[in-house]
Amino acid sequence: MTEHAASSALAHGLQGCSICTSVGPVEETRCECCGAKLHAGWDESIQKTWAWLITSAILYFPANFLPITYNRFLGKESESTILGGAVTLWEHGDKPIAVVIFVASVLVPLGKMMVLAWMCLSVQTGSNFALAQKTKLYRVTEFVGRWSMIDVFVVAILVALIQLGNIMTVRPGVAAVAFAGMVVTTMLASLSFDPRLLWALDDEDHKK
């Protein structure tokens, strides 16, 4: 592959519109086709991504280790965590459901945070290693991240359906709020990160 083929549009003074995908000069501030605001790159992308990542990392621990539901059955109070619920389902033979909850609620958010942190560090350290693979990984994290809300949906359904007075009731715990906040902040971190910054590193190497 030649140097010209490997370089980005920005290296040739061009930028793309995120709305209609048309290409125009980097000096333009508005898209000639749809009128949307153009930007060749987000100057504060890394700072915003780190801010959302740190917030999601802080929320990760209460989301997984504090009670996500408070249960009352025949006058007896109990509480359940995400990890405890997955273990209980596994012990009762519902292994596929336990695996889905564990992967979607524990592994996926943690993996997404680690991937975004790796990309931010790559930009800050000037590493252009495996740019194509990093871009694909970024797209995967965007796609799978939305499935992390499965626990919040389950809690909402249980709270709405299981309200039997003194016989059995289910109330959301503080972990439900923390978990929802963690999922939202990881999504915002993913949206804040501009993957074009990765390829800008490759352009800088070509200029040297």
Q: How far apart are CA 133 and CA 146, in angstroms?
A: 21
Same domain, 57 and 134: yes
Same domain, 93 and 143: yes
**pTM for the model:** 0.72
- What pLDDT does residue 104 have? 80
- What pLDDT does residue 60 have? 93
Same domain, 18 and 64: no
Contacts of 201 (CB under 8 A, 6+ apart): 122, 123, 126, 127, 128, 131
DSSP bridge pairs for 30: 37
Number of domains comprising the chain: 2
Tell me the mean pLDDT per 10 residues along the chain, length 208: 50 69 75 73 80 95 87 76 84 84 85 91 84 84 69 60 61 85 88 81 52
Structural domain harbouring 91: 43-207
Same domain, 27 and 57: no
Same domain, 101 and 200: yes
Q: How far apart are CA 86 and CA 154, in angstroms?
A: 13
Same domain, 190 and 95: yes
Same domain, 22 and 57: no
Query: What H or E segment, with its residue span, contains residue 122?
Result: helix 108-125
Contacts of 3 (CB under 8 A, 6+ apart): 206
Same domain, 17 and 85: no
Same domain, 68 and 6: no
Same domain, 16 and 99: no
